[in-house]
């Protein structure tokens, strides 16, 4: 598919009038929200469909209709729904736009309450051009602490919808199960559920029509060192609570969803934390740099959350099974483009969170291409080069940057909500990214937005889209008429940087 400028609006299916359908009569959708804790979202897109997912606030009867024609939905099914519910949309065709409609009723004697029509695309065939969105570090639980952050995020979502994406990959630090400033009393299973529910509800307008995937970040609370977090008042089981809450509100692929596989230690209870799929001429691999990193747990204090673990650069790891799977997946794929996604590098800088202290016990994993040989990232880069994988996308650092080293492009994907300028003068930051006044992606671009990829057989185009509706305090880019503040394609020279040894 080709796009003109400005990009066309996605089909306004969410605003369409609902057509009269079969069974039990119908009413407008206004009352349907009373039955839904979280409305429908689209996950796990495939050649023939996707998984439709919703979370009910009480038991009800559901009807799903879908097909290639929004005015004549050819497939229909009814099912009982209680809590988190998955429904497999199938029997469609690749590279097609699919329309889907969810209707709800409390009992068989009630009329259906019909939700708005949604639309998404099935898997792109080889030879097809398509677009993908990358969103990092929303920190939805912190939006209220930063004036304008929610407005920025809403603007980002609107732009993603207008840009007609096939799917979006979240780069982690979304739900905030673990958040600096939380008291130990506030770290519990109830908070984990509330934070994930907030994330899902916040991104409902996007996920209703753009399928989503996620790489897990440190603030999702599922790192190995959070399996049992010691505190003065007793142990906290953040990893267990975070995983359970995530599986209620987010459907990542399991090891069985796509032929490329993924985490499959216990197929009966899949963690859905690392996986891969092919779309068009590209292989997408999502990694989990958190769960298999254990470090040395310390006694966490409410006023010193960064002291929870002793973790060296070399301690960050994918774990043996994930690393072996990564090598196998890269080796067996015949895709022309191979792209890796993780919350941060599997190593990173030798500093604390803010880049101030080399003696801090917890090395925070920040930085990009300059740390291509730091820790296990060196082995991952070797695998990438050996098997033709050129791109490593990450979040964690809350800026946009594009640097290259060791024949790998490292892209930090920005953030859609708010900026944190206090980091940018720290010695670690200058080592990793340079100076604010450089105003280049080879150093870093500071503004709110998202990373957009356009992939075709010939090239990968990387753009950073500024989405803030007004000038931002602390940004170092100038707004453009189309929002694009950086553009590079894979036929151009790479922005090489020197390694930190």
Exposure letters 80-118 (e unless 16+ CB within 10 A, then b): ebeeebebebeebeebbebbbbbbbbeeeeeebbbbbbb
Q: In the CATH hierarchy, which fold is given to the domain comprising 130-489?
A: Purple Acid Phosphatase; chain A, domain 2 (3.60.21)
Looking at the chain, the whole-number percentage of residues with pLDDT higher than 70 is 91
Q: What are phi and psi of 14, to 5 degrees?
A: -70, -15
Listed in order, strand segments (DSSP E) in 154-263 are: 167-170, 212-214
pLDDT at 22: 32
Which tens digits make up the pLDDT trace of 245-282?
999 999 999 999 999 999 988 778 899 999 999 999 99
Q: Are 251 and 55 in contact (CB under 8 A)?
A: no
Q: Output the pTM of the full model.
A: 0.93
Rounded Cα distance, 181 and 142, in Å: 11
Bridge partners (DSSP) of residue 309 are: 297
Q: Max alpha carbon distance in the chain (Å)?
A: 71
Question: Rounded distance, CA 393 to CA 412, Å?
Answer: 6
Return the bridge partners of 84, or none. 55
Quote the CA–CA distance of 498 and 371 in Å, as a whole number: 9
Q: What mean pLDDT comes out for the span 233-237?
A: 85
Asked if pLDDT for residue 298 goes beyond 70, the answer is no
Environment class of 318 (CB within 10 Å of its CB; exposed 0-12, middle 13-18, buried 19+): buried
CA–CA distance, 386 with 406 (Å, rounded to integer): 11
Q: Give φ, ψ of 176 to 5 degrees.
A: 70, 40
- What mean pLDDT do residues 36-45 have? 97
The segment(s) of the chain belonging to CATH 2.60.40.380 are: 13-121
pLDDT for res 329: 98
CA distance 488 to 207: 27
Tokens of 222: 């599922």
Of 22, 75, 29, which Cα lies nearest the Cα of 52?
A: 75
Tens of pLDDT, residues 439-485: 999 999 999 999 999 999 999 999 999 999 999 999 999 999 999 99
Task: Locate CATH 3.60.21.70 in the chain.
Answer: 130-489
CATH topology of domain 13-121: Immunoglobulin-like (2.60.40)
Q: What is the DSSP letter of 189?
A: H
Backbone φ and ψ for 388, nearest 5 degrees, come out as 75, 30
**C-alpha of 173 from chain center:** 9
Rounded (10°) CA dihedral 85, 262, 279, 8: 50
Residues 405-450 have pLDDT tens digits of 999 999 999 999 999 999 999 999 999 999 999 999 999 999 999 9
Mean model confidence pLDDT for the chain: 91
- Of 93-97, 185-189, 310-314, the range with the lowest mean pLDDT is 185-189
Residue 12 has pLDDT above 70, yes or no: no
If we measure between CA atoms, which residue out of 142, 140, 134, 201 comes closest to residue 170? 134
* β-sheet bridge partners, residue 275: 262, 286
Q: Of 290, 240, 293, whose CA–CA distance to 269 is shortest? A: 240
């Amino acid at each position: 598919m080709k796009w003109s400028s400005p990009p066309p609006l996605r089909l306004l299916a969410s605003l369409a009038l609902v057509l009269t359908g079969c069974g039990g009569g119908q009413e407008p959708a206004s009352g349907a929200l009373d039955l839904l804790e979280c409305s429908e979202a689209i996950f796990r897109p495939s050649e023939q469909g996707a998984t439709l997912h919703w979370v009910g606030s009480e038991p009800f009867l559901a009807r799903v209709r879908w097909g290639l024609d929004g005015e004549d939905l050819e497939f229909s099914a009814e099912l009982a729904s209680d809590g988190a519910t998955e429904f497999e949309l199938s029997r469609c065709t690749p590279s097609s736009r699919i329309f889907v409609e969810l209707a709800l009723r409390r009992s068989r004697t009630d009329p259906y309450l019909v939700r708005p029509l949604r639309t998404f695309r099935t898997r792109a065939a080889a030879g097809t051009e398509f677009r993908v969105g990358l969103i990092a570090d929303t920190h939805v639980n912190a939006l209220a602490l930063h004036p304008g952050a929610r407005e920025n995020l809403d603007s980002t979502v609107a732009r993603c919808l207008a840009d007609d994406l096939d799917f979006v990959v979240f780069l982690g630090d979304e739900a905030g199960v673990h958040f600096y400033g939380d008291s130990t009393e506030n770290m519990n299973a109830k908070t984990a559920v509330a934070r994930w529910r907030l994330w899902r509800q916040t991104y409902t307008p996007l996920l209703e029509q753009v399928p989503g995937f996620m790489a897990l970040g440190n603030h999702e609370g599922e790192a190995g060192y959070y399996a049992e977090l010691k505190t003065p008042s007793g142990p906290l089981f953040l990893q267990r609570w975070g995983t359970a809450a995530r599986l209620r509100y987010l459907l990542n692929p399991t090891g069985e969803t796509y032929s490329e596989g993924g985490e499959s230690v216990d197929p009966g209870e899949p963690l859905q934390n690392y996986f891969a799929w092919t779309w068009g001429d590209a292989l997408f691999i999502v990694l989990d740099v958190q769960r298999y990193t254990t470090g040395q747990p310390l006694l966490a204090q409410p006023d010193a959350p960064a002291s929870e673990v002793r973790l060296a650069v070399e301690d960050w790891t994918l774990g043996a099974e994930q690393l072996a799977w990564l090598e196998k997946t890269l080796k067996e794929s015949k895709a022309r483009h191979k792209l890796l996604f993780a919350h941060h590098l599997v190593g990173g800088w030798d500093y604390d969170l803010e880049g101030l202290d080399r003696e801090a016990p917890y090395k925070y994993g920040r930085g990009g291409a300059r740390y291509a040989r730091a820790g296990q990232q060196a082995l991952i880069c070797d695998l990438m080069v050996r098997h033709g994988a050129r791109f490593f996308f990450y979040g964690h650092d809350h800026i946009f940057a594009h640097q290259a080293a060791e024949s790998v492009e490292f892209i930090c994907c920005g953030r859609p909500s708010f900026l944190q300028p206090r980091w940018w003068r720290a010695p670690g930051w200058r080592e990793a990214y340079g100076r604010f006044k450089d105003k280049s992606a080879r150093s870093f671009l500071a503004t709110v937005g998202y990373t957009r990829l356009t992939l075709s057989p010939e090239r990968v185009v990387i753009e950073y889209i500024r989405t803030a509706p007004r000038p931002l305090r602390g940004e170092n880019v100038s707004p453009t008429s189309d929002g694009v503040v950086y553009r590079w394609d894979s036929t151009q020279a790479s922005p090489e940087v020197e390694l930190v040894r």
